[in-house]
Amino acid sequence: MRVRAKLLIPAAVVVLAVLGVFLLQGLARTQPREHVVVIQSGALVPPENWSGGLVFDNRYFSPSNLTVKAGDVVTWINRDSVTHTVTDLSGQKAFDEVLGPGQRFSYRFERRGVYVYYCVVHPWKGGEVRVE
């Protein structure tokens, strides 16, 4: 009986530890994440030979293409010296925010889909958030 108890306790500790690791992994997977998009310094300069369409380039929004999970938060930070906007062009018009130099704006993407956004002041700056 004593020998059995001595074996049972370490076995129980191992089982609990393994269960704990699985639980923590599950939690980590379901925790909403925050993603950062930087409005780059110099984003006010239009691309050469700009023809009027949106340009998805990390020189403007970085990254200009981002894939997130539903429930995740995206934070845009304006690192440029002038004011920019983060304006949703999708039918949902989920956000339209003016960001002065150094300002940031966060939005939680609850609904799946593709959100194309741009800057009203500098309309070559395209960005896309794909919510899965």
The nearest distance, CB 112 to Cu ion, in angstroms, is 27
Residues in touch with Cu ion (CB under 5 A): 84, 119, 121-122
**Cβ-based nearer residue to Cu ion, 37 or 84:** 84
**Cβ-based nearer residue to Cu ion, 8 or 45:** 45
Q: Which amino acid is at 77?
A: I
User: Which tokens is 78 given?
Assistant: 């304006």
Quote the strand ranges of 40-83, DSSP E.
Answer: 61-62, 65-68, 73-78
- Distance of alpha carbon 42 from alpha carbon 48, whole angstroms: 13
**Cβ-based nearer residue to Cu ion, 72 or 107:** 107
Phi and psi torsions of 78, nearest 5°: -85, 105
